[in-house]
Amino acid sequence: MLLMVGLGNPGPQYEGNRHNIGFMAVDEIARAFSFGPWTKKFHGEIAEGMIDGRKVLLLKPLTFMNDSGRSVQAAASFYKIAPAEIVVFHDELDLPPGKVRVKLGGGHGGHNGLRSIDAHLGKDYRRARLGIGHPGSKERVNPHVLGDFAKVDREWLEPLLSDIARHAGALAKGEDAVFMNKLALATGGSQEPAGAKGAAPAKPAAAAKGQSHIRQARQGGKPSLPASGPMAGMLKKLFGGD
């Protein structure tokens, strides 16, 4: 069994936060693959299903971010799931909005959810880092991650969540590089963030009137909101449905 974990904070006051993009990702996977209903277990909510022939357990810890490891360890211990068979979706300040990186192991980078999982399981699990961008200064980090996505963010957030679910089969097969390449093709560009090793330095661009810096990160036509399913209500609340 593969364990896919989405990190976030429980409760309606947090559901639209950038910090909760991990919850959003596993919710969309559950919808796309018609997983069973969410039930409470292992200090969290779980749903079971199949992705490309592999049994997968989805988990959303309800322990609040700082104690996420307790929930993940409980589920992994019960099903005897090795750390390498755990994929954790989480927000990443050090990636531009809409960019995704998957890696095995590594540091927590100040992310309290990862810090907690490291303490309970060690570092040898897979991390799916979902870029939310950095606000520019340390003092603005907490308001940024605990702030809600803006309405203009739907132009990159909705397609990203859909693409993550659509290509989750590659993650289920352990093909992390394939998963990242498919996301890059889906976005019409490279998944290599500007300024990263081997990438050309980014040139500052003037922001278009009425657009946030996040919207500038991913241009495209306005996608339609899903009409039904778990994501529909959440996205309508986030962005204001038509």
CATH number at residue 9: 3.40.50.1470
* Contact (Cβ atoms closer than 8 angstroms) between residue 134 and residue 93: yes
* Annotation marks residue 19 as catalytic: yes
Q: What is the 3-state secondary structure (H, E, C) of 25-79?
A: HHHHHHHHCCCCCCEEECCEEEEEEEECCEEEEEEEECCCHHHHHHHHHHHHHHH
- pLDDT, position 180: 96
- The rounded Cα 182 to chain-centroid distance in angstroms is 16
78 belongs to an annotated ligand binding site = no
| pLDDT value of position 217 | 40
Is position 125 annotated in a ligand binding site? no
Structure tokens of 212? 């946030």
State yes or no: 79 annotated in a binding site: no
Q: Long-range contact list for 45-50, CB < 8 A, 24+ apart?
A: 46/75
The residue range of the domain holding 19 is: 2-187
| Three-class SS state of 127 | strand
Where the chain has pLDDT below 50, the residues are: 190-223, 242
8 Å CB contact between 79 and 1: yes
**What single letter denotes the amino acid at residue 1?**
M
Residue 17's identity, in one-letter code, is N
Residue 209 has a pLDDT of: 38
Task: Specify whether the CB–CB gap between 99 and 47 falls below 8 A.
Answer: no
By the 8 A CB rule, do 2 and 57 touch? Answer: yes
Residue 136 within any structural domain of the chain: yes
Residue 90 · residue 127 · CB < 8 Å:
yes
Note the pTM of the prediction, 2 decimals.
0.78
- 19, 90, 111, 144: the active-site residue: 19
The answer to whether 14 is annotated as binding is yes
Q: Is residue 79 part of a domain?
A: yes
Which of 163, 176, 172 is closest to 104 using CA atoms? 176
Number of domains in the chain: 1
The pLDDT value recorded for residue 133 is 94
